[in-house]
Amino acid sequence: MTTNIVDVDDLTGDQLHEVLDLAAELKAAQRAGDGRKPLTDRTLAMIFEKPSTRTRVSFETGMTQLGGHAIFLGPDDIHLGHGEPIKDTARAVSRYADFIMARVFDHDDIVELAEYATVPVINGLTDDAHPCQTLADLLTIRERFGGFDTDVAWVGDGNNVCQSFVIGAAMTDIDLTVATPEGYGIAGDVRDRAAELGNAPEETTDPDAAIEGADIVYTDVWVSMGQEDRREQKLQDFDGFQLTTDRVGDRPVMHCLPAHRGEEITDDLLESDNAIVWDQAENRLHAQNGLLAWLAE
């Protein structure tokens, strides 16, 4: 049976730790100049409806490091669901590539792609979930704290990055508090899944209350790609949720990037020693390498 990673909990708890262990091993080997090549002659097809710096560069670099090859399929190269049904694209590309990574708008598209593909499908981001970012986040937290015995405050929008992190936190027993404006919280089904995993987050509309007991503070943009028409309303609704140096104190700060400096986070905080965002960004590469190598085993 093909394993697809549509969201983090497509992995079991044990499998999640296996992926993170393998990611750490591959990272250490790469830095020691002893890069392993478990994906020699393997091909990753990368389908992009949404552009991205980190997703493309990290996956393409990772496949090269692991001995394989990545093919970029942008909006002008492939018409996912337009001109050809998604299920036909899934079945055809499966005959050529060993893995498919897709970064799309509609979460149902990645679900359909995974249903009909006969090779592993990895969600590179949808409007509902971003599991690859969560793997990088968890690897970063584990490196920083030596494990997951931490309290994390999410401050901002209960968006796709937040929702996958909620699931990842539940799977690793991270104590998480999510602070969002009224009406911007996580989806009910995400809350239910986290509860079933045994560790649903606390939710509040008070960012300072969330930060008070936190070891780490995490934020993301308030206006995501595709929400530009809601920009003015969202900036108004999120007034009072900006992360500043004074608000955060000496706590490490995470951000999945790209950041809208001066909106959800101040420039000086992002440039401070408290920001561990570049560790997160690098760990996209290593976490995904771990995932790809694990899927190939």
Binding residues: 52-55, 103, 130-133, 160, 220, 224-225, 256-257, 284
The annotation places the binding site for L-ornithine at 160, 220, 224-225
Residue 182: other Cβ atoms inside 10 A? 7
The annotation places the binding site for carbamoyl phosphate at 52-55, 103, 130-133, 256-257, 284
Q: What is the largest CA-CA distance in the chain?
A: 54
Query: Token digits for 217?
Result: 């503070």
The residues annotated with a catalytic role in the active site are 103, 130, 133, 220, 256, 284
Residue 261 pairs with which residues in a beta bridge?
A: 265
Contact 253, 269 (CB under 8 A): yes
Report which secondary-structure segment, H or E, holds 70: strand 69-73
Omega of the bond leading into 207 within 30 degrees of 0 (cis): no
Instruction: Note the helical H segments in the chain.
Output: 13-31, 53-65, 86-94, 107-116, 131-145, 160-172, 188-196, 207-212, 231-237, 245-248, 267-270, 277-296
Which DSSP letter does residue 8 get? Answer: G
Nearest to 293 by CA among 22, 13, 15: 22
Query: Token digits for 269?
Result: 């905080």
- CA 184 from centre of chain: 19
